[in-house]
């Protein structure tokens, strides 16, 4: 089912460029409201991250939903997983997050959640897109939706995060550095860890509308590594702009990506005899992780890149745990969507429970050297030119069974991602740069 606006993670783009405009946002709110409110009046929750454009789009969405006859609960800055959780527990008909996740401030977008706190189906998105072509026809005045602020939203979400670990679990004696990426989790994430007893130093918690993800957060873990050393902390936790991703840093300053975090959580579930179904990674998941799961006799499957596809494969195969190298981890036995804070807590639980360090917990995993080069595109998609295909075949033949190559367009940005993985680091890095050079010549901006 082809979609014009919705991608793998909602709708996203540069502010001011179609479709990320106030007019579109109002039409989007109206169309989503009409599709969602067919069985009654209903309420929708609107959350946002800290981008300056969030004010503008919040008002536009509110107007569209009201015109469709839906009440609106305004959450203010709130992590994406918090909106999913609150949509479910406040019995709203839908939730929407105004965010472009890990992208820079000049991008923005819209993510929707159903009443169950899960992403809507392709069919729902298709119906919304069809209504986007129609003019707004407001319901009669007596049926217009009302709007209110949900003042206790942060506290509700903090308690939910703490409930993802057993009662009595304590982080007392552990010093953490928490990097909130100047994003949506800046006010809630530090409180979760401190209320569980940790000594918390917070960075990336001074959002100004423009500095979200700027040299901070999960896309820049080297900053966190420096802060962990500076504060002589035990661990560091880096979130992204909307709080659904997590990357960690150990006491030695080593970055622990989503693959290793996924391993620790899966190992913990297995030892607690709580592991259900296969673990699901993606095409980007390191081959070394797959081998580690094989040694542990844990079934492992790969989906297409994107948490949407990880979720679909987990649900189709009865799994609970999955994720991506980027730190987007799904613990469906704890939450309905990816949650950076909840993921970090699952890792911290295993560290405390086992009495082992992060390095000790991951010592049985040998990750293959992996190099990814992002090539900006003149336009979205990959032009499979003969030159690109020849270069790809030549690289694959040279690498043979010693590794693998992935060439794919990003689902959220105008980029082609060139990934090479293999046993020899020098060969991997050289091959990635050579292939990226060919792609850049053919389709690069």
Cβ of 386: how many Cβ atoms within 10 Å?
8
The closest of 330, 288, 105, 352 to 209, measured between CA atoms, is 105
Residues 6+ apart with CB under 8 A from 180: 186, 189, 190, 202, 203, 204, 205, 217, 239, 243
Q: Give the integer Cα–Cα distance in Å for 57 and 29.
A: 10
Q: Where are the alpha helices (DSSP H) in 325-424?
A: 340-354, 358-361, 386-399
| Dihedral pair phi/psi, residue 216, rounded to 5° | -160, 165
Contact 78, 339 (CB under 8 A): no
Q: Where are the alpha helices (DSSP H) in 144-286?
A: 153-162, 189-195, 221-231, 258-271
- Of 101, 164, 303, 325, the catalytic one is 101
3-state secondary structure of 295: helix
19 cis-preceded (ω within 30 degrees of 0): yes
Contact 118, 92 (CB under 8 A): no
Half-sphere exposure of 134 (CA within 13 A, CB side): 16
DSSP letter at 134 equals S
Residues 6+ apart with CB under 8 A from 142: none
| Dihedral pair phi/psi, residue 254, rounded to 5° | -80, 135
The residue count of the chain comes to 445
> What angle do the packed helices 54-67 and 22-36 form, to 10 degrees?
40
Is 101 known to be catalytic?
yes
Residues 6+ apart with CB under 8 A from 146: 66, 71, 72
Residues 6+ apart with CB under 8 A from 324: 258, 281, 282, 284, 285, 305, 306, 307, 310
3-state secondary structure of 444: strand
Q: What residues are annotated to the active site?
A: 101
């Amino acid at each position: 089912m082809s979609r014009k606006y919705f991608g793998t993670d909602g709708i996203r783009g540069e502010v001011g460029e179609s479709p990320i405009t106030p007019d579109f946002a109002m039409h989007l709110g109206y169309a989503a409201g009409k599709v969602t409110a067919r069985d009654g009046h209903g309420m929708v929750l609107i959350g946002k991250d800290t981008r300056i454009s969030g004010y503008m789009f919040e008002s536009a969405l509110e107007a569209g939903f009201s015109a469709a006859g839906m009440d609106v609960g305004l959450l203010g800055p709130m992590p994406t997983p918090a909106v999913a959780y609150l949509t479910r527990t406040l019995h709203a008909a839908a939730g929407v997050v105004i965010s472009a996740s890990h992208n820079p401030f000049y991008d923005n977008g819209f993510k929707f959640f159903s009443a169950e706190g899960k992403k809507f189906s392709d069919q729902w998105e298709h119906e919304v897109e069809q209504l986007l072509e129609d003019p707004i026809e407001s319901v009669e005045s007596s049926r217009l939706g009302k709007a209110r602020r949900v003042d206790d939203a942060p506290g509700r979400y903090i308690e939910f995060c703490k409930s993802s670990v057993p009662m009595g679990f304590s982080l007392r004696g552990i010093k953490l550095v928490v990097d909130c990426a100047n994003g949506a989790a800046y006010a809630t994430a530090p409180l979760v860890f401190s209320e569980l007893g940790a000594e918390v130093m917070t960075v990336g918690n001074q959002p100004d509308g423009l500095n979200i993800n700027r040299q901070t957060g999960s896309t820049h873990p080297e900053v966190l590594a420096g802060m962990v050393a500076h504060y002589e902390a035990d661990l560091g936790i880096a979130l992204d702009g909307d709080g659904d991703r997590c990357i960690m840093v150990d006491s030695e300053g080593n970055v622990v990506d989503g693959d290793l975090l996924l391993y620790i959580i899966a190992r913990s579930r297995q030892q607690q005899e709580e592991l259900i179904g296969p673990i699901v990674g993606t095409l980007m998941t390191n081959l070394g992780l797959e081998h580690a799961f094989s040694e542990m006799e844990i079934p492992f499957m790969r989906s297409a890149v994107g948490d949407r596809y990880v979720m679909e494969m987990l649900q189709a195969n009865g799994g609970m745990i999955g994720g991506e190298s980027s730190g987007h981890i799904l613990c469906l036995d704890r939450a309905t969507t990816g949650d950076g804070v909840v993921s970090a807590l699952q890792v911290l639980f295993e560290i405390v429970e086992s009495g082992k360090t992060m390095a000790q917990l991951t010592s049985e995993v040998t990750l293959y050297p992996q190099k990814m080069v992002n090539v900006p595109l003149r336009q979205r998609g990959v032009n499979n030119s003969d030159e690109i295909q020849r270069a790809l075949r030549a690289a694959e033949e040279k690498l043979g069974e010693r590794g693998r190559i992935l060439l794919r367009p990003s689902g959220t940005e105008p980029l082609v991602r060139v990934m090479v993985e293999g046993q020899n680091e020098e060969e991997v890095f050289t091959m990635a740069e050579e292939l990226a050079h060919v792609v850049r010549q053919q389709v690069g901006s």
